[in-house]
Structure 1
Amino acid sequence: MKELIYYLPIALIVVSNVFYNICTKSTPQTANPFLSLFITYLVAAFITLILFLFTGLEHNVMNSLKELNWTSLVLGICVVTLEFGYITAYRFGWNISVASVVANITLGILLIPVGILFYKEILTPNHLVGIGLCFTGLFFINR
Structure 2
Amino acid sequence: MWNYIWPILLVIGSNTVYNICAKSTPAEANAFVSLSVTYLVGAFLSIVMFLFTSSGKAYFPELRKLNWASVVLGASVVALEFGYIAIYRAGWKVSVGSLAANIGLAVILIIVGVIFYKELITFKQICGIMLCLGGLLLLNT
Q: Give the TM interval when normalised to the shorter protein.
A: over 0.9
Of 98, 101, 104 in structure 2, the residue corresponding to residue 100 of structure 1 is 98
Alpha-carbon shift at residue 131 of structure 1 (Å):
1.2
Alpha-carbon shift at residue 61 of structure 1 (Å):
2.2
Percent identity, aligned pairs only?
Answer: 51
Alpha-carbon shift at residue 82 of structure 1 (Å):
0.5
Structure 1 gap ranges (5+): none
Alpha-carbon shift at residue 60 of structure 1 (Å):
2.0
State how far apart, in whole Å, the 2-side matches of 1:5 and 1:118 are.
27
The number of residue pairs the alignment matches comes to 141
State how far apart, in whole Å, the 2-side matches of 1:74 and 1:51 are.
22
Q: What are the within-5 Å matches in structure 2 for residues 1-143 of structure 1?
A: 2=1, 4-143=2-141
Query: Which whole-Å deviations, capped at 9, do the CAs of 1:26-70 have from their partners, x for residues lacking one?
Result: 011111111111111111111000001111134222331111000
State how far apart, in whole Å, the 2-side matches of 1:108 and 1:134 are.
9
Alpha-carbon shift at residue 132 of structure 1 (Å):
1.4
Normalised by the length of structure 2, the TM-score is 0.95
State how far apart, in whole Å, the 2-side matches of 1:75 and 1:126 are.
31
Structure 2 gap ranges (5+): none
